[in-house]
Amino acid sequence: MSGSQPDDASISGRATMSSPAGASPAVPSPVQTPTLHISRVLRHYKRPDVQEKMLAAASGREIGLRFGTGGFGKRPDVLNFSGDIMAAVAQGATSFHTSEERWHNPLDIRTEMTRREQDELRSGWDLVLDIDCPIFEYSRIAAELCVAVLRDHGVEPAVKFSGNKGFHIAVPWESFPSSIGNKQTSRLFPEAPRIIASYIKELIAEPLAGRIMEMDGIDGVKAKTGKSFAELTVKQEGMDVLNTDAFLEIDTVLLASRHLYRMPYSLHEKSGLVSTPINPDKVGKFKREMAAIERFKVSDFDFPGTGTPMQAEVLLKAAYERDSFNKAAASSLLQQAGQTGEWKPIGAKMPLETFPPCIHFILNGIEDGRKRAVFVLLNFLTTAGWNEQEVRSLLAEWNQKNPEPLREQLIEGQVRYHFANLGGDERFPGTGSSGGADAGGSATGPGAGLGAGPGNSGYEIRPPPNCANEGYYPSMGACHPDDICRTWHVKNPASYVRIRKRQMQRAGIMAGEGKSQEGKEALQEGQEEKGSTEQKEGEQNADGKNLDGAGSASAAGDGVQVNDGTKGTTVGKKGADGVKKSKRARKPSRKPRGKQPKGAADGNDVPDATVLAMNTDGNRSD
């Protein structure tokens, strides 16, 4: 296991009290960190009152051990007796982590379990909100507001200092109704906690910004966070408003199955402090030094506690109602923009240079979250116009860059499953049957490998998970926003590519009219090659009747990398206004060869406002 990620258990180099991991020695030498000497660790975990509280918090939950800076132990693991705690410490464990999910038998968990198998084994889940900010005072304000919101909904929450600069806010499983509608609540993980977390974030956003501004003002916030005015503010009704998302995160803890958070009374390796439960009424008075090993006291308050039956029913229903309202509003916006809620192919294959920072980070090789990365890359590359063979080739190249490559069979299985479902055909797309030229589609163009032939009614493009999904980019260390991400408030990596595509289209128009050397340079930066087929494509669509040029993919072939002034985006001398006119319902200049799937010849790129409004959640495949 790496970090608190369930999908990379094999990379651990440490043994646990249950079994050794890999080729590690049965009893590794004690691990020390700059703030945690082994004598302090032993003295802390030997306390009977600490052991009692830790065992209570471990009941029915999966446990993960961390060995200083040396990584995590093998999973699944459990704590049943006080001797288990001391055995782990003797092996070098410095901190203990536990799951949000509760299990009938945690030791029955397997990494390769399906969603249905997980649902059968899961007995419930706790809602755990993670408040994370480098400024402790800001985290404390957010924690106070979360407590207030939960109490307004009739819920008495549990609060715990995270051990460094944040807080955990919990609503225990016992407080939730056993079902909502006709669905068992235990099977609504991680959807329900995610919806509740978003609801609470929305409710506290305005008062949180107000209290922080009242405390420090914009200059104080800039000084503490090290961020610029542009990074810290957003425009709302013509006014600059503090954007707390730029420096403070409030979300369910790495929300995906089997993710862990620091157990109550566990030590924190970086700070050397104790992750201690605190009185919800006194969050505003809590100071970090109160959690020092030598000073802290075992609290009268438990975390996450046991709760009161049905106490969180109002909260759960209110969160779902708000979620439905938001989705309806987003759907209405899409319809007003002339779009449906379906995510359409971007058209021609987009080059690597147009990919967002998070995708580049992943493609350089990662240590944590490799299986989740496969899921992200499959969906992203598909939306970016890459066909099956191109995706398979890039994934193979990427896997060799990982410190510990995944098994080739695992990646191959994911690729086959992805494109088989994408094409809606039992045969694998891109093999000359359902997705190739034999099926009536393009053999090498943007539709290749996407099941573009007749009978593939299941054709559907799904974008990768959203940027804010804590189970992916943030927890993988891949979220490094650039100017485009910040300026356009990009919510999904696929939206980033659409924005880059429009920028390159506009640059292409300028270059085509010979008005801007900068436009030519911007266009050249996004191209990988220019061929005669590209020129023919541009001549064919020069009147602007086919904005994307995707309908002529079979004529253009793989040589089409981006759309520019020579490949279908130009409207002669009409300029930008001509682009808008070309989006009207007009027939293409020449009927494309073969039957195209819905959206494959899409001439209407998602409008700017729609890109910003889209909020599609990806589902984990690991």
- In the chain (622 residues long), the average pLDDT of successive 10-residue segments reads 35 33 37 68 94 93 87 87 92 92 90 85 91 93 95 93 94 91 87 89 92 94 92 84 88 66 93 94 94 91 89 90 72 47 68 94 91 90 91 94 87 81 40 32 32 36 84 88 89 91 72 41 42 37 34 32 33 35 40 40 33 34 36
Half-sphere exposure of 238 (CA within 13 A, CB side): 0
DSSP calls for 290-350:
GGBTTT----SS-SS----TTTTHHHHHHHHHHHHHHHHHHHHHHHHTT--SSBPP-SSPP
Tell me the H-state helices in 153-250: 191-225, 229-232
What is the C-alpha to C-alpha distance for residues 601 and 546, in angstroms, rounded to an integer? 9
Q: Which pLDDT score is estimated for 422?
A: 65
What is the C-alpha to C-alpha distance for residues 428 and 422, in angstroms, rounded to an integer? 9
CB atoms within 10 A of CB 336: 11
Angle at 331 between CA 326 and CA 333, to 5 degrees: 95
What is the C-alpha to C-alpha distance for residues 551 and 599, in angstroms, rounded to an integer? 10
Peptide bond connecting 177 to the previous residue in cis, omega within 30 degrees of 0: no
What is the C-alpha to C-alpha distance for residues 290 and 388, in angstroms, rounded to an integer? 56
In this structure, are residues 384 and 494 in contact, taking their beta carbons and an 8 Å threshold?
yes
In this structure, are residues 53 and 264 in contact, taking their beta carbons and an 8 Å threshold?
yes
Q: Which pLDDT score is estimated for 143?
A: 96
Q: 573-604: buried (b, 16+ CB within 10 Å) or exposed (e) per residue? A: eeeeebbeebeeeeebbeebbbebbbbbbbbb
Q: What does the CA dihedral 344, 349, 351, 356 come to, rounded to 10 degrees? A: 10
Orientation angle between helical segments 48-58 and 82-90, nearest 10 degrees: 100
Q: Which pLDDT score is estimated for 183?
A: 86
Q: Give, as one character, the DSSP assignment of residue 240.
A: E
Q: Which pLDDT score is estimated for 479?
A: 92
What is the C-alpha to C-alpha distance for residues 544 and 538, in angstroms, rounded to an integer? 9
Q: What does the CA dihedral 52, 54, 55, 58 come to, rounded to 10 degrees? A: 160
φ/ψ of residue 482, rounded to 5: -110, -170
Orientation angle between helical segments 408-423 and 388-401, nearest 10 degrees: 150
| 158-161 and 101-103 beta bridge pairing | unpaired
What is the C-alpha to C-alpha distance for residues 201 and 213, in angstroms, rounded to an integer? 18
Contacts with 333 (C-beta within 8 Å, 6 or more apart), sequence order = 609, 610, 613
Q: Which pLDDT score is estimated for 255?
A: 59
Residue 527 burial by CB count (10 A; 0-12/13-18/19+): exposed, middle or buried?
A: middle
What is the C-alpha to C-alpha distance for residues 496 and 485, in angstroms, rounded to an integer? 7
Q: Which pLDDT score is estimated for 371?
A: 85
CB atoms within 10 A of CB 509: 25
Q: Give, as one character, the DSSP assignment of residue 404.
A: S
In this structure, are residues 463 and 494 in contact, taking their beta carbons and an 8 Å threshold?
yes
